[in-house]
């Protein structure tokens, strides 16, 4: 079992749609959670951190469910520019500060 | 700030050759790491460092060496290149001294390596 698992997709959605991605992680002691975005052949960039109470940044909402060990990302009103791969990232080991990345979920927003 | 820089951007090697991928950051970050990214595999941690003079192995360290003589630089050495090392390599840095596990990790632009 992978330490951080994501559905690879691709998710093909029309502009304006709402889309949600889930990610599960294996270590219940994990401390920190993030969503990164990666455009084709580019480096990953932080989209948002995920906090225990859930958090929102514009059209993006991230949630954490510690009991079930998953995090989610909701994108509302999808734009063409949202097309990218979304990486679920977890700080699995307390104190080591090494991040573990999921394989990514590819999103394609179509006109 | 330049952020995290990597050189070269592209490299082609023959099997058995050695080379060093360079990585530097100007954000005074303590924590630096190297990842490789292969199709469908996500980013896998090769080696990391929590400060100058301190390095440790990640998930896939075989065939690679690292050193951290300064805070700014974290080179990755391929000792004897193999076709299985064909990949995109990303260097990343994160966190100043006293920082937390929620610190943002910044990536360099990557090095695309092909081993023939």
> For B48-66, how does the pLDDT look when each residue is reduced to its tens digit (9 = 90+)?
998 899 999 998 999 999 9
Note the pLDDT of residue B96: 66
Q: By the 8 A CB rule, do A5 and B71 touch?
A: no
CB contacts < 8 A, A to B, total 52
Note the pLDDT of residue B48: 92
Per-residue pLDDT tens for B54-102? Answer: 999 998 999 999 999 999 999 999 999 999 999 999 999 988 666 666 6
> Which residue of B23, B39, B43 is the best one to mutate when testing the A interface, meaning the one whose CB has the most A CBs within 10 A?
B43
CA distance B14 to A81: 38
Smallest Cβ–Cβ distance between B31 and the set A34, A97, A102 belongs to: A97
> A101 and B95: CB-CB below 8 Å?
no
> Which residue of B60, B99, B105 is the best one to mutate when testing the A interface, meaning the one whose CB has the most A CBs within 10 A?
B105
> A97 and B101: CB-CB below 8 Å?
yes
Note the pLDDT of residue B40: 74
Closest residue on chain A to B5 (Cα)? A43
Note the pLDDT of residue A48: 94
Per-10-residue mean pLDDT for chain A, 111 residues long?
86 96 90 93 93 92 94 97 96 71 94 95
Whole-number mean pLDDT of chain B?
A: 92
Note the pLDDT of residue A95: 57
Note the pLDDT of residue A27: 86
Q: Please name the residues in contact with A32: beta carbons below 8 A apart, sequence gap of 6 or more.
A: A49, A90, A91, B101, B102
């Amino acid at each position: 079992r992978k330490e951080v698992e994501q559905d690879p997709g691709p998710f093909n959605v029309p502009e304006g749609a709402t889309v949600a991605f889930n990610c599960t992680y294996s270590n219940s002691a994990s401390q920190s959670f993030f969503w990164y975005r990666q455009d084709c052949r580019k480096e990953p960039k932080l989209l948002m951190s995920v906090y225990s109470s859930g958090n929102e940044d514009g059209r993006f909402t991230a949630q954490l469910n510690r009991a079930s060990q998953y995090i989610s990302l909701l994108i509302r009103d999808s734009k063409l520019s949202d097309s990218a791969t979304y990486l679920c990232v977890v700080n699995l080991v307390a104190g080591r500060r090494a991040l573990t990345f999921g394989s990514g979920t590819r999103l394609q927003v179509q006109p | 700030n330049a952020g995290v820089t990597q050189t070269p951007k592209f490299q082609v090697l023959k099997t058995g050759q050695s080379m060093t991928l360079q990585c530097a950051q100007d954000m005074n970050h303590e924590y630096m790491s190297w990842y490789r990214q292969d199709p469908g595999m996500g980013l896998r941690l090769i080696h990391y460092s929590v400060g100058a003079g301190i390095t440790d192995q990640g998930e896939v360290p075989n065939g690679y060496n690292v050193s951290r003589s300064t805070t700014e630089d974290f080179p990755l050495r391929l000792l004897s290149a193999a076709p299985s090392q064909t990949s995109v390599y990303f260097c990343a840095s994160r966190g100043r001294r006293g920082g937390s596990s929620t610190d943002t990790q910044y990536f360099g632009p990557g090095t695309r390596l092909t081993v023939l």
